[in-house]
Amino acid sequence: MKNIKYFAAVATLAMTSFATFAAEPVNLQQAQKLTEVGVVSAGQATTLSSLEAKLAAKAEAQGASSYRIISAGGNNLLHGNAVIYK
């Protein structure tokens, strides 16, 4: 019986997520309810997905909970800017 309790406790802990929360993208309406804390920029991205991932990583590194991409462009390599929020 004691082993079953230990197994249940270990299983519960193993299923618990210990990951930190990543910065989440928001739209303009959602952003109006948040506090703007700065702007981040990223470049040298080959796809829009990789550009968004770079901007999200930079927002998270700055301690932001959310970000909103305000510009993106480029020909072969993309660059962009995002406003970050707490």
Domain chopping of the chain, boundaries: 23-85
Q: Which CATH number fits domain 23-85: 3.20.20.60, 3.30.1660.10, 1.20.210.10, 3.30.360.10?
A: 3.30.1660.10
Give the model's pLDDT for residue 22: 83
pTM for this model (two decimals): 0.75
Give the model's pLDDT for residue 18: 40
Where are the extended beta strands (E) located within the chain? 24-25, 36-45, 66-74, 78-85
Q: Is residue 29's pLDDT more than 90? A: yes
- As a dihedral over the C-alpha atoms of residue 30, residue 65, residue 71, residue 74, rounded to 10 degrees, the angle is -140
Q: How confident is the model at residue 74 (pLDDT cuts 50, 70, 90)?
A: very high
38-50 pLDDT per residue, tens: 999 999 999 999 9
